[in-house]
C-alpha cells in the first residue's frame, strides 16, 4: 500500500517537533498536524513565558538590596500590559522560527485537529490522510479538580492572558507550578496565598529542599495553608471566596484563583479506539520501552504517555523513537538522573535520588552531606537568604546518588553536576576537584 506520508505526527510540541525533524533527516516523508500553536505548552503557555516573568520579578527583588550596593533608591512602576506584549512578541518569534525549520526540512505543517479513522488514516476536518507510521505527541492539559465553583478558577494556561495583575491571588496546589507562580507574582506586588494538601510544598523533591524553599517564601510574605483542601469557591460581589477544609478551616478572599494541581494526558477525542491504541492509568497512552503503543505502527511520546512531564524528556523520547523506527538504531531512554528545577526565588534544583528514596533503597548505607550558608551577594545586606547544598551518597561505594540545591543559579549548577553523577562520580572525586572561588557551586566540592 502506498501512503501519503512515512510518518504523521499529531502535535507540534517539543516531542513532536524533535521527532519530525529527526525523521526528515533520515529521508522520511513527514507531516505534522497541530490544532493550536506550534511549540506546545512549553513555548506558548509554560516554560518560556513563565521564565520571562521570573526575570521580570527578579528586578523587583533586586530593588530591595540595591541601596546596600551604593545605588540610590528610586520609584519605578511595573506595567503588566507592556511586559506581556514583549513576552508575546518573543513567543511569536519562536513560533515563526519553528515554522521555518519545518519548511527547510521539507516537513508539511497542517493546521488542523487530527483524529484517527483507522491505524493508518487520520481525519483532518473531513480530509483523509494516510501514513505508514503515526506518532502521537499531544501533550497534557492542566487538571481542574471537581470542586463547587471551580469554574471561577483559572489554570496556568490562562495566567499568561490576565489583563491586569490581581491584588489578591490564591493558588491551589504547591507543586512546582504553584510555587513558581507564588514567587514571581508576589514579587510583582500580588498578595499570595497557597493552599496545599500536604504538610510541605514541592512534593517529590528532597525534604530539605522543600523546607528551605517554603521557609524562604514564607519569610517574604507568601502565606501557606497546609494539610488542607479547597472545599468550595463562591462569587461574592467583585471578589471570590475560597473555603478550605482539613487542618485549616477558613475562607480566603481572592481576585484571581489559580489551579495548579498537575497535568493529565491530553488523550480524549483522538479516536484512539478506532486505531487500536489502549490507554492506561490516568488516560496515559500505553507504550513499551521503544514508545510503541498497542498498535504496532503507532507510537507516542511526551506528556501523553505519563512518564516524566518535562520538555527535554519529550524531546529525547521523540528522537529515541525515530532512531528506533527510521534509523535502525533501537534506542531506550534512561530515566535515571533526570535533573529538574523550580524557578522560584530562591531557585531549587535536583538530580538523582532524594534522601528518602535512597534510604528506601539502600537503608543505613546512605550518608548525606548538607550545608547551609549565605552567598557573597547578601554579605552587604541585612537580608538572610540562605543557600542549601546537599549530597546523597552511598557510603559503601562513595558514589553520589543525588545532588540537591536551593539558591542562586541552582538549576545551572545541578544540570552540570548531573553529567558527573550519571557517570558514577564519587564524593572523593568531588573533594579532589578544585573549585572556583567565590561561588556557591564550590560548596559541592568541600
Judge whether 176 is annotated as a binding position.
yes
pLDDT tens digit at each of 446 positions of the chain: 799 999 999 999 999 999 999 999 999 999 999 999 999 999 999 999 999 999 999 999 999 899 999 999 888 899 999 999 999 999 999 999 999 999 999 999 999 999 999 999 999 999 999 999 999 999 999 999 999 999 999 999 999 999 999 999 999 999 999 999 999 999 999 999 999 999 999 999 999 999 999 999 999 999 999 999 999 999 998 999 999 999 999 999 999 999 999 999 999 999 999 999 999 999 999 999 999 999 999 999 999 999 999 999 999 999 999 999 999 999 999 999 999 999 999 999 999 999 999 999 999 999 999 999 999 999 999 888 889 999 999 999 999 999 999 999 999 999 999 999 999 999 999 999 999 999 999 999 98
90 is catalytic: no
Judge whether 303 is annotated as a binding position.
yes
Residue-by-residue DSSP string for 345-405: SS-EEEEE--HHHHHHHHGGGEEEEEEEEE-GGGTTSS---EEEEEEEEETTT-BEEEEEE
Q: Which residue ranges does the chain devote to CATH 3.30.390.30? A: 346-445
Q: From the candidates 67, 404, 409, 437, give the one annotated as an active-site residue.
A: 437
Tell me which fold the domain 5-142+264-325 belongs to. Answer: FAD/NAD(P)-binding domain (3.50.50)
**CATH number of this structure's domain 346-445, picked from the four choices 3.30.360.10, 3.80.30.20, 3.30.390.30, 3.20.20.80:** 3.30.390.30
Task: Please tell me the number of Cα atoms within 13 Å of 69 on its side-chain side.
Answer: 10
Residue-by-residue DSSP string for 12-39: -SHHHHHHHHHHHHTT--EEEE-SS-TT
Judge whether 177 is annotated as a binding position.
yes
β-bridge mates for residue 349, sequence order: 341, 405
Judge contact between 365 and 397, C-beta under 8 A: no
The CATH architecture annotation of domain 150-261 reads 3-Layer(bba) Sandwich (3.50)
Q: Which residue ranges does the chain devote to CATH 3.50.50.60? A: 5-142+264-325, 150-261
Amino acid at each position: 500500500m502506498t501512503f501519503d506520508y512515512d510518518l504523521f505526527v499529531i502535535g507540534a510540541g517539543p516531542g513532536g517537533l524533535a521527532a519530525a525533524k529527526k525523521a526528515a533527516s533520515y529521508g522520511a516523508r513527514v507531516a505534522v498536524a497541530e490544532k493550536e500553536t506550534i511549540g506546545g505548552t512549553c513555548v506558548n503557555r509554560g516554560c518560556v513565558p513563565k521564565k520571562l516573568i521570573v526575570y521580570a520579578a527578579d528586578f523587583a527583588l533586586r530593588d530591595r538590596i540595591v541601596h546596600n550596593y551604593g545605588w540610590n533608591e528610586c520609584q519605578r512602576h511595573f506595567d503588566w500590559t507592556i511586559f506581556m506584549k514583549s513576552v508575546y512578541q518573543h513567543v511569536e518569534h519562536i513560533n515563526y522560527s519553528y515554522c521555518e525549520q519545518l519548511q527547510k526540512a521539507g516537513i508539511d505543517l497542517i493546521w488542523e485537529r487530527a483524529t484517527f479513522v483507522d491505524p493508518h488514516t487520520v481525519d483532518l476536518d473531513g480530509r483523509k490522510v494516510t501514513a505508514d507510521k503515526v506518532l502521537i505527541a499531544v501533550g497534557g492539559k492542566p487538571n481542574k479538580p471537581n470542586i463547587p465553583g471551580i469554574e471561577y478558577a483559572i489554570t496556568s494556561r490562562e495566567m499568561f492572558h490576565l489583563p491586569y495583575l490581581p491584588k489578591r491571588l490564591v493558588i491551589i496546589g504547591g507543586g512546582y507550578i504553584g510555587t513558581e507562580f507564588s514567587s514571581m507574582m508576589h514579587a510583582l506586588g500580588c498578595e499570595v496565598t497557597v493552599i496545599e494538601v500536604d504538610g510541605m510544598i514541592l512534593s517529590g523533591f528532597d525534604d530539605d529542599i522543600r523546607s528551605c524553599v517554603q521557609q524562604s517564601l514564607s519569610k517574604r510574605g507568601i502565606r501557606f495553608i497546609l494539610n488542607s483542601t479547597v472545599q468550595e469557591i463562591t462569587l461574592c460581589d467583585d471578589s471570590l471566596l475560597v473555603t478550605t477544609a482539613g487542618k485549616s478551616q477558613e475562607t480566603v478572599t481572592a481576585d484571581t484563583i489559580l489551579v495548579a494541581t498537575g497535568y493529565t494526558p491530553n488523550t480524549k477525542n483522538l479516536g484512539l479506539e478506532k486505531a487500536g491504541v489502549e490507554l492506561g492509568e490516568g488516560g496515559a497512552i500505553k507504550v513499551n520501552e521503544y514508545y510503541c503503543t498497542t498498535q504496532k505502527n503507532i507510537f507516542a511520546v511526551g506528556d501523553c504517555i505519563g512518564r516524566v512531564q518535562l520538555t527535554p524528556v519529550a524531546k529525547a523520547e521523540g528522537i529515541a523513537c525515530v532512531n528506533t523506527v527510521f534509523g535502525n538504531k533501537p534506542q531506550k531512554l534512561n530515566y535515571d538522573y533526570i535533573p529538574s528545577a523550580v524557578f522560584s526565588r530562591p531557585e531549587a534544583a535536583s538530580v538523582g535520588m532524594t534522601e528518602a528514596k535512597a534510604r528506601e533503597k539502600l537503608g543505613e548505607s546512605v550518608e548525606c552531606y548538607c550545608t547551609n550558608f549565605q552567598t557573597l551577594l547578601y554579605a552587604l545586606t541585612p537580608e538572610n537568604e540562605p543557600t542549601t547544598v546537599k549530597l546523597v551518597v552511598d557510603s559503601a561505594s562513595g558514589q553520589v546518588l543525588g545532588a540537591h540545591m536551593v539558591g542562586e543559579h541552582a538549576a545551572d549548577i545541578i544540570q552540570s553536576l548531573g553529567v558527573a553523577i550519571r557517570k558514577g562520580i564519587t564524593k572523593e572525586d568531588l573533594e579532589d576537584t578544585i573549585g572556583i572561588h567565590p561561588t556557591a557551586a564550590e560548596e559541592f566540592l568541600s
